[in-house]
Amino acid sequence: MKVLITGGAGFIGSSLVSYIAQLGQNHQMVVLDDFSTGRESNLEGYSVELVLGSVADGNAVHRAMEGVDAVVHLGALGSVPRSVVDPVASHVANLTGTLNVLEAARQKDAYVVFASSSSVYGANTTLPKSEFDWTRPMSPYAVTKLGAEAYVLAYQYSYGLPTLAFRLFNVYGPRQPADHIYAAVVPRFVDSALKDEPLMIHGDGLQSRDFTYVDTVCRALFSAIDRRVAAPDPVNLAFGSSTTLLELVDLIEAALKRPVTRTHLEPRVGDVRASQSDGVRIREIFPELQPTTLADGLAATIAWHRSTRGEGRYA
């Protein structure tokens, strides 16, 4: 099987490359990335065909799609705050990019699994979230993800293209960068804690998330492409956990065996108060998946952050 991973040099993409490589099976991998957020170093040591380009470039997408059997479409501009600053860039990368991928896949009859986001639920305060709950995006990023997953499902209805839209919930783990202004909360907190710097908490810290370890996500993505799992509706890729930011800090303190400093800032525009999946459909469709606990995932994440900086620096 030949698999195209868009955004394959990024956090989740390169983790999937590593996961597939470790399986030891005869899978060819193509990575399409422009390194706007991904890093070439993430692909070092792996046998991949690299196509340098953006999903927003239709020609680059078509080049990358040559001979491909399945596509894992991860290429996107992430981050709610980034989309608030520059909504047009998010629209082009996330919506136009997805349409380019779908068109190329349709011409090649390639299976497509797409990474949407739990942010599409937005202002809906119902907990836990079912895929059949109403959506109300609160940020341009969330709008692009909802629109893109609608395209993914529409191509299934209109053209018979086998597709699956996963809604990812706060994925974290090794390879997730902390060194930019739009870094996700787990790498930001871990990085600050290891540097003995204050952990910057936006709001009161009682906002909650359904954190999902990246290895669990990779296992779900590979199972989907391996079995060509198609579904007429989105599928939440999360298992029903609920952790506040304050509880996350407590877990980091427990893993480090020392306290950390906390500083509270103003809430961020577009952030949802609580996010949690009911975990029903993911367990029905992928019964073999067993999620990694947050404590175990944090331990592995902290170990990775230490290894990339030199553990002695944080002793």
> Is residue 46 exposed (0-12), middle (13-18) or buried (19+ Cβ within 10 Å)?
middle
The verdict on residue 284 lying in a domain is no
Inter-helix orientation angle 294-309/245-256, to 10°: 60
Query: Do 127 and 251 share a domain, yes or no?
Result: no
State the average pLDDT over residues 60-69.
97
Q: Do 20 and 28 meet the contact criterion of CB atoms below 8 Å apart? A: no
User: What token pair was written down for 163?
Assistant: 């597709």
Residue 29 in domain: yes
Please tell me whether residues 152 and 117 are part of one structural domain: yes
pLDDT > 90 fraction of the chain, expressed in percent and rounded: 88
Q: Based on the fold, state whether residues 133 and 266 are members of the same structural domain.
A: no
pLDDT, tens digit, for every residue of 82-91?
899 999 999 9
What residues form DSSP beta bridges with 52?
A: 33
Question: Is 38 contained in some domain?
Answer: yes
Question: ω into residue 128 within 30 of 0, thus cis?
Answer: yes
Does pLDDT of 42 surpass 80?
A: yes
pLDDT tens across 47-60, in order?
999 999 999 999 99
Give the domain CATH number at 304: 3.90.25.10
pLDDT digits (tens, 9 = 90+) for 81-127: 889 999 999 999 999 999 999 999 999 999 999 999 999 999 999 99
Quick check: 169 and 212 in contact, CB under 8 A?
yes
Q: Does one domain contain both 190 and 306?
A: yes
CATH code for the domain of 220: 3.40.50.720
* 122 assigned to some structural domain: yes
Does residue 125 belong to any structural domain of this protein?
Answer: yes
Could you tell me if 104 and 150 lie in one domain?
A: yes
Residues 154 and 263 in one domain: no
* Global confidence as pTM: 0.93
Contact 223, 182 (CB under 8 A): no
Give the tens place of pLDDT for each residue, 259-298. Answer: 999 999 988 877 788 899 999 999 999 999 999 999 999 9
| Mean predicted confidence (pLDDT) in 135-142 | 95
Q: What is the mean pLDDT of the chain?
A: 93
According to the model, what pLDDT value does residue 270 have? Answer: 72
3-class state of residue 231 by DSSP = coil
* Residue at 288 is within a domain: no
How many structural domains are present in the chain? Answer: 2
Structural domain containing residue 41: 2-171+212-237
Give the residue among 233, 182, 237 at the shortest CA–CA distance from 213.
237
